[in-house]
Structures are given as C-alpha cells and as structure tokens.
C-alpha cells in the first residue's frame, strides 16, 4: 500500500460531527487545481511509511539517497488510524522536512484514516497540514490514503470519506494542493465487494491530484501484463473522475517483488499514458536497478494511441 496498519481543530471536529448527524452534503465543493499540484505530484517520488524504522533513524541519509536518484518528492507518512498519536516521531518528521527542503525536494504528508472515528481522522489530517519543523518548515501538500474498510457499511464509509475530504479542503490554505491516494480501480474490478462504486468523481471535486496504487506485482508476471495493468489503471482513473486531464502520480509496487523486465512494462505504460509522476512503493525496498529504471522515466507526454481507450 501505503500500508494498512490500521476557525481550529475543535471547530472542524464539531462541524464534522454536525455534518455526519445531518447526512452527506447536498452539494460538492469545487476548486480549481492549485498551480503547485503539478510541481508536487509531477516527476519522480519515493515513499517512507511509519514502519520503515531504518529510514526514520537516518532522515539525512534517506534525503541524500533521494537527491542522488533525482527524486523530486518524498511521500512521508505522519500517522495511521492504529497509532496512539497524531504525528508519529515529530522530531524525525521535522528533520525529514528540513533536510528535504534544503536538498530541493518537496514533501507530501500522508495519513491513513479508518473512518470509524471521524473526529480523530480529521484531527490527524489537520495536524499534518499544520505541522511545522523546528525551523518552521511545512509540508508542501497533504494526501489522504483512502483504502481502509474498518467501516463495513459502504454508504456510511463514503459519507464519512467525503465529509473528511471537504473538512480538509476547507481547513487547508486556498492554494494548498491535496492528493487522493486511491486503490487500484483494476484491483477493485477484480474484487467488487471491497469498495463498490468507489467515489472517484466526488473526490475529484476536492482533490487536485490522484495517486493510484497500481501494484501490478499482485497480478502481472510479464512485461506485457504489467503494461496492461498500469495502462488500465490510468485510463480508469481518468474516466471515473470525469477529468481526462487530472494530474496522476502512479505508484508501482511492491518494489522488492517485481522483476526488472516487468518494471520495464510498467514504465512503458507511464510513458504512453502521459503520466505526470511515478514512484515505487517503497524507499527501502527499491533496488539499484529499479532506481535506474525510474531515472529513465518519460513523464508528462501527450498520451499515445495505446493509452487513449479502455
């Protein structure tokens, strides 16, 4: 994944509770994509989750490695719903931010909500957006990791997801880009009971970029299959959001379970589909050969004919 583990914050929590009590909003907030969305979600990225203990002990070494591999954006997990605190290891988060910004990297905070406790999910998302390092550095963007099925009632899960999304958008600065980390639509077609009628279009009214988990290693064992999987994910996101030009940062994974040839198929789909940004999950699992493949990525081209139909 992003991996399963499981005015102010008080006002937002109160508003959230009221909205849940009254039911889903009858309207959808629509905002133009901030100009920084492409700058943050475009290019090469890499992921560090809260379980990567070796990385958290040495933020400076991680950042130096990312810089050497020409990574533009670090995706740093701040917490998840199973944790006892809103920000896990605040000191290390601050060091990651300061070191990454000094090296010219963007940093995106990401949080995995359960939707079982809306007040906690709201507080933790806003804690990431409002976090400041000892030097005053802030995250360049926030991304919501949308995948937990702790709430089994899909209608209620959808309502809480959309209420949380709108609360985050309302609390973030107007030009602050937001990302939606979403399950693979191809995987959801294979497992229709996981999240029926996933709300891509409503989410597209709130989030500025989509970050699908195109983990082809679960299904694709040949370069051609990896290509088809990644292509179909991109096409589905564009079709289901109703935004053919939506910024897409594609995550391939799991990095230590793929062959170099299969990764080559994935990267050809990235090129043919004109994907804005690409990364592998996750930093510690990425090999030298995989870094080289990423470094050769062709991004942001006009989609080729092979990626113009579903």
Q: What is the CATH number of the domain that holds 56?
A: 3.20.20.80
When pLDDT is cut at 50, 70 and 90, the band that residue 77 belongs to is: very high
pLDDT at 270: 98
Residue 239 lies in a domain: yes
Token pair listed for 113: 């909500």
Q: What is the pLDDT of residue 30?
A: 36
- In the predicted structure, residue 200 carries a pLDDT above the cut 80: yes
Instruction: Indicate the number of domains in the chain.
Output: 1
* CA diameter of the chain: 53
- pTM for this entry: 0.90
Residue 9 counted as domain residue: no
Contact between 43 and 69 (Cβ < 8 Å)? no
Residue with the two structure tokens 């299959």 = 225
Position 104 pLDDT exceeds 60: yes
The yes-or-no verdict on residue 23 having pLDDT over 90 is: no
Helix H or strand E encompassing 94:
helix 90-102
- Structural domain boundaries enclosing 141: 33-307
Domain assignment present for residue 79? The answer is: yes
Residue corresponding to tokens 């594609």: 250
Band the pLDDT of 180: cuts 50, 70, 90.
Answer: very high
Give residue 34's pLDDT band: very low, low, confident or very high (50, 70, 90).
Answer: low
**Would you say 236 and 246 are in contact if contact means Cβ atoms under 8 Å apart?**
no
Instruction: Enter the tokens of residue 155.
Output: 């209608």
> Would you call 309 exposed, middle or buried from its count of C-beta atoms within 10 A (0-12, 13-18, 19+)?
exposed
| Cis peptide upstream of residue 282 (ω within 30 degrees of 0) | yes
For 5, the token pair is: 């583990």
Q: Where are the beta strands (DSSP E) in the chain?
A: 43-48, 73-80, 106-112, 141-145, 178-182, 209-214, 249-253, 277-281
Specify if 65 maps to a domain.
Answer: yes
Report if residue 83 sits inside a domain.
yes
In a domain? residue 22 = no
Residue 90 inside a domain? The answer is yes
Least confident of 19-23, 184-188, 247-251, 286-290: 19-23
Q: What pLDDT sits at residue 131? A: 98
Q: Tell me what the mean pLDDT of segment 49-64 comes to.
A: 98
Q: Does 281 have pLDDT greater than 80? A: yes
Q: Using 50, 70 and 90 to split pLDDT, how confident is the model at 308?
A: confident
Residue 21 lies in a domain: no
């Amino acid at each position: 994944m992003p991996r399963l583990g499981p005015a102010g914050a008080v006002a937002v929590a109160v508003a959230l509770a009221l909205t849940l009590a009254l039911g889903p909003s009858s309207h959808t907030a629509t905002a133009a994509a901030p100009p920084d969305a492409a700058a943050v979600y475009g290019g090469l990225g890499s992921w560090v989750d809260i379980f990567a203990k070796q990385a958290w002990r040495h933020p400076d070494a991680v950042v130096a490695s990312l810089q050497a591999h020409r990574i533009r954006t670090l995706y740093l997990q701040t917490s998840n719903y199973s944790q006892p605190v809103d920000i896990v290891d605040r000191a290390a988060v601050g060091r990651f931010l300061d070191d990454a910004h000094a090296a010219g990297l963007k940093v995106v905070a990401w949080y995995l909500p359960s939707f079982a406790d809306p007040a906690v999910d709201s507080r933790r998302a806003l804690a990431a957006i409002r976090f400041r390092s000892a030097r005053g550095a802030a995250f360049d963007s926030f991304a919501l990791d949308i995948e937990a099925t702790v709430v089994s009632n899909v209608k209620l899960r959808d309502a809480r997801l959309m209420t949380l999304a709108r609360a985050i958008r309302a609390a973030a600065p107007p030009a602050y880009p937001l990302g939606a980390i979403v399950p693979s639509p191809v995987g959801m077609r294979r497992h229709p009971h996981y999240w029926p009628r996933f709300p891509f279009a409503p989410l597209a009214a709130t989030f500025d970029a989509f970050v699908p988990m195109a983990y082809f290693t679960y299904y694709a064992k040949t370069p051609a299959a990896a290509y088809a999987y990644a292509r179909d994910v991109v096409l589905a996101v564009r079709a289901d959001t109703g935004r053919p030009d939506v910024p897409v940062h594609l995550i391939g994974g799991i990095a230590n379970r793929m062959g170099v040839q299969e990764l080559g198929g994935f990267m050809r789909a990235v090129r043919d589909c004109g994907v804005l940004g690409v990364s592998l999950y996750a930093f510690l699992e990425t090999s030298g050969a995989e870094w080289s493949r990423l470094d050769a990525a062709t991004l942001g081209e006009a989609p080729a004919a092979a990626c113009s139909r579903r």
